A and B are shown apart, each in its own frame.
Chain A
Amino acid sequence: MSVQNGINGWAGTVLRVNLTTGSVTREDTLPKYKPYIGGMGIGYKVIWDEVPLDTEPFSEEAKVVFSVGPLTGSGVPCSGRTTITLLSNWSRGKSIVDAHMGGHIAHSIKYAGYDAIIIEGKASKPVYLKIEDDKVSLEDASHVWGTGTFNTNKVLSAECGAEFDVASIGPAGENLVSMSCMITSFGNSGGAGVGGALGAKNLKAIAIRGTGAVKIADPVEHKNLCDYMIRDLVGGNNNHNVPSRPQSWAEYTSTVKNRWQGGPGVMWGAAPDGAIDTGEQPSGQIAVAAYRATKGVFDYGDVVQQYIVKSGGCASCPVRCYSEYNVDILAEYDLPTLVSNTCVPAGSGPTSFYLKDAMHDFKDEGDSKIVLGLHGAYVMDDLGLWENYNNLGREFAWCLKNGVFEKMLPKEEFDSIPWHLMEEGDPRWLDDIMGRIARKEGEISRIGEGSYFFYKAWGLDDASKNEWGVNMYDMIGGNNNVTYNGYPKHHSSEDGWQSGLLYNVMYNRDCMVHVLTNFVRSGSPFNEVIKPVLESYFGEGCVDAPKAYTPINENKVKLAKWCFLQKQWQDSATLCDWMYPMTLSSSPARKYVGDIDLDAKYMTAVTGEEWTMDDILFSAERISNMLRGITAISFKIHENMDNLRKTHDAVPAWVFDKDPDVPAFSEGTDKMDREDWEKSLTMFYEAMGWNVDTGIPTRETLEKFDLGDMADKLEELGLI
């Protein structure tokens, strides 16, 4: 029987597992963690309280926190997310980062009765953590150690029982590769180096089943809210709110290539007993919501329809942003044909490992991206490699194109690499090359240390230190670095003007904030929908037309802060950032206006307490300040840097120097202006209550959020 403390929303218990001693302990969630909501907030509180920030991230002393929140598994659509908090082993400052894992395991954690699982210590031999409600044990994992995540998840699910979900690390994590992740469901990953962090603890996997329930204070109202969201608000993936092709009921057809690709004649062409037409998908109908995204068509174009079996995704989500494929061509290479993934990991990620000229059509024009991309996604997931939003691929592609490997690798190693597979566009190339990175084989595997340390190792961060005269952070073209810390932009100024760039530089990994790209690439017409709706929330001038930018203003800063806080809320709730906040609606009758207060309505219905968005965002701002304070301390400890503005938040030259013939704020460019950016930072810091010279929270701000102990530490280090 499940452990349930009878609390609405929260499960009520935080589980702590010490791998060194084997001890399993529990504590009540709410007395300590309620001010931090759940999820990311719990993770940040645990790291802050318990892990000295000079701790080596891949070590026995480090901790990894798996967490869910009050809305996880409550029935709220798109609440199937697990946040994993740890110290980064790979980005500058080695500070706090989160991995965000989808699939179904978040629900299992909640049903088993836990809001968080704190992993500490190190097992003496490979183990996996088995949880069935209140029964918690460490089990021998020697039979799956060394094997890929697909085998591990299969074996452990089978041996634990049909209703156990599993998440595991692959060889990359076991070999302490920084660019590593864990995998659950089919291709659902949590990255940011969590594979190595768990590998350092000899923890191969978590297998979990829960027979309990998430208690809901007002189930009638709550179900009404859930149905309303799916019926009247939800569109495609990223909540893109108008279909990409004409539908009889639709007022608009997308003005850009967006993530609502389903529609009449768009087929799940590899469905086992005949193709399924995704059909008309009117707003207002629940039973068609899962057909809207049909994400593979966005990732690969219409040619992929013949390989789509069905759509998949996370627990509770009606959107289904994964396509599940049967790529029969792969059988000719003795490779698995059933594959699934989405977005960068399935497309530009794997194909970056080939020279463009080497890629060839297999059966249809343009299908190399499908065959190589999907096999590459499978290989990366099986190895438990993480692509750092494809900085890994971009770096590999650049080195490949510029002959860097030939110069930098020992001759014996270079000659041992089967380059002919790459040159022939053979999918098996990916098994070889990614395997080397995951097993830390040879000099080439240094690319798996992550951008920051890889550039340092090969002198690619300083034009005077390499024969190509390049600074990988600053160069224009083939470079997405948004800071000098080792991670790329994740929909930045190109989709969200200064506001997007502001939240992109706040984290210690790619920001994973999609609020503005969801808006800008929604497919809705700019003047009729995007501009008026966004301005109705944040005031005149908060939004710029694509590549027609204007200087910074107060409302853009207000918008940036809101987006930033939303992310901390979502990862604490937990809600999917690809969908929330519900800024837009698919409903013509609503004039496409979303419901940005919906989250508070959910919290009120689920917990039985009155929650407003102000309450939610206040808690999110507390977590945001923890992120910032912890980052400042880490930068002091590891880099002896006292000023985040000039270091952590510094933006590479290409952002300002691209499109050299066109000045910023002119038609046709999304480049930024240096002076305007400095003004943007100042205004943002002021809005956050941070010192405008250093970008570090003031004592007054920290104390407003009951973070006086963090202020004390910052003061002790001379940072405030």
Chain B
Amino acid sequence: MSEEKRGFATKEVTRRQFLKISGVSLTGLVLSTPLLTLMGCTQKQVDDGSVTTWAFPQGLLVVNKDKCTGCQRCEINCTLVNDGCVSSYISRVKVTRNLFSGRNDTGLYSDNHFVYFPDTCRQCAEPACGSACPQGAIYADDSGVKKVDPEKCIGCGACVSACPWHMPTVNPVTNKSSKCVQCGACVAGCPSGALSIISWEEVAAASQAV
């Protein structure tokens, strides 16, 4: 482990620093006890990949596989808030595709019956969805959140193909890309805390507390 990585948890942390230090995940980092407490998990869960984190503009998104109980309320709340309807297919957070017979042998009908979890948009610093969009419809707003401009989007699906995790979906009714806008509805409505967001101020404070 590099010195820089080892020292991560004791520094004042900003999102930029976080991204620079951790790359795409926290695996391999030794996290401070206060940060683990904030994240509601153990170092082992981080090391084994049960807990993954994504550096969002407004905070650190924590996804805890072990806590996901498969209720699909993340998809329900995503679409209720953003689409005014309830749907799995156009949800920006996706748990159903891992719930039945998912990729990598996850899901109730797999051999690893009880391994299922929500996939989320990573809010990539260099988003493949945005790069692939022929209309330049995916832009970063003032806070850095990548959003879809519905005026420009033509529903071609280039973002769906380009995203390594296929997180966007073209809504068949509106013919617009439904890409995560980081509204936080999935997190706020998760009844098991499998999804949580920790603000950068909290991450920084927890890191300094060591």
Binding site for B on A (CB under 8 A): 1-2, 4, 73-75, 77, 104, 107, 111, 153-154, 157-158, 161-166, 185-186, 210-216, 219, 222-223, 226-227, 230, 268, 271-274, 276, 286-291, 309-318, 320, 324, 326, 338, 340
Binds A, one of B15-23, B97-105, B157-165: B97-105
Does any Cβ of A come within 8 Å of B131's Cβ? no
- Which residues of chain B have C-beta atoms less than 8 A from A318's C-beta? 71, 73, 191
Residues of B within 8 A of A (CB): 42, 44-45, 48, 50-51, 65-73, 76-77, 79-81, 83-90, 96-103, 107-110, 113-115, 172-173, 188-193, 196
* Chain A residue nearest in CB terms to B85: A213
Decide if B86 touches A74 in the complex (CB within 8 Å).
Answer: yes
Taking CB as reference atom, which chain A residue is nearest B79?
A213
Contact between A219 and B85 (Cβ–Cβ < 8 Å)? yes
Complex: chain B residue closest to A289, CB-CB:
B191
| Option from B89, B172, B189 in Cβ contact (under 8 Å) with A286 | B189
- A-B CB contact pairs (8 Å), 24 listed: A1-B172, A107-B88, A154-B109, A158-B109, A163-B97, A164-B100, A166-B109, A186-B108, A210-B89, A211-B89, A214-B85, A219-B84, A274-B44, A276-B66, A287-B192, A287-B193, A289-B192, A290-B191, A291-B192, A310-B114, A312-B69, A318-B73, A320-B192, A340-B113
For the complex of A and B, 7 pairs with smallest distance between CB atoms? A318-B191, A290-B192, A157-B101, A213-B87, A211-B89, A213-B85, A289-B191
In the complex, chain A residues whose CB is within 8 Å of the CB of B113: 186, 324, 338, 340
Decide: A286 and B72 in contact? CB cutoff 8 A: no
User: Does A290 lie within 8 Å of B71, measured CB to CB?
Assistant: yes
Grouping DSSP codes into helix (H, G, I), strand (E, B) and loop, the B interface class, with mixed when no group exceeds half, is: loop
A162 engages B67 (CB within 8 Å): no
Expressed in whole angstroms, the Cα–Cα distance for A324 and B189 within the complex equals 22
Residues from chain A with a CB closer than 8 A to the CB of B96 are 104, 163
A423 to chain B, nearest CB (A): 32
Q: Is the CB of B50 within 8 A of A273?
A: yes
Q: Shortest distance in angstroms between A111's beta carbon and chain B's nearest beta carbon?
A: 6
Cβ of A291 to closest chain B Cβ, rounded Å: 7
| Measured CA separation A204–B136 after assembly (Å) | 49
Selected from A158, A274, A311, the residue in CB contact (under 8 A) with B101 is A158
Question: Is the beta-carbon distance between B83 and A312 smaller than 8 angstroms?
Answer: no
Question: How far is B103's CA from A461's CA once the two chains are assembled, in angstroms?
Answer: 53
Are B190 and A309 in touch, CB under 8 angstroms? no
**Cα-based distance from A4 to B84 in the complex (angstroms):** 15
Name the one of B71, B103, B193 contacting A162, with C-beta atoms under 8 angstroms: B103
Give the Cβ gap from A279 to chain B, nearest Cβ, in Å.
Answer: 9
Given A287-B193, A310-B114, are A316 and B102 also a contact pair (CB < 8 Å)? Answer: no
Cβ contact of A273, chosen from B66, B72, B79, B103, cutoff 8 A: B66
B117 to chain A, nearest CB (A): 11
In the complex, what residue of chain A is closest to B47 when comparing beta carbons? A273
With contact pairs A154-B101, A213-B79, A273-B48 given, residues A163 and B69 touching in the complex (Cβ less than 8 Å): no
Cα-based distance from A317 to B100 in the complex (angstroms): 17
Residues of chain B within 8 A (CB-CB) of A163 are 88-89, 96-97, 100
User: Could you say which residues of chain B place their CB within 8 Å of the CB of A268?
Assistant: 66
Task: Return chain A residues, CB-CB under 8 Å to B115.
Answer: 272
Query: A216 contacts B86, CB within 8 Å?
Result: yes
Q: How far is the CA of A214 from the CA of B189 in the complex (A)?
A: 18
Give the complex CA separation of A164 and B190 in angstroms.
23
Q: How far is the CB of A32 from chain B (nearest CB, A)?
A: 24
Pairwise interchain contact B188-A157, C-beta atoms closer than 8 A: no
Q: With the chains together, A277 CA to B68 CA distance in Å?
A: 14
Given contacts A157-B109, A286-B189, contact A272 B66 (CB under 8 A): yes
Q: How far is the CA of A104 from the CA of B97 in the complex (A)?
A: 12
Which residues of chain A are within 8 angstroms of B68 by Cβ–Cβ distance? Answer: 310
Complex: how many Å from CA A216 to CA B77? Answer: 12
Question: Considering the chains assembled together, what is the distance between the CA atoms of A111 and B98 in angstroms?
Answer: 17
B90 cross-chain contacts in A, Cβ below 8 A: 211, 213
CA distance A514 to B45 in the complex (A): 39
- Name the CB-closest residue of A to B87: A213
User: In the bound complex, how far is the Cα of B85 from the Cα of A288, in angstroms?
Assistant: 25
In the assembled complex, the CB of A38 is this many whole angstroms from the nearest CB of chain B, namely 16
> Which residues of the other chain, A, contact B83 by a CB distance below 8 angstroms?
213
* A157 and B110 alpha carbons, distance in the complex (Å): 9
Q: Across the interface, which residues of B come within 8 angstroms of A316, CB to CB? A: 71-73, 76
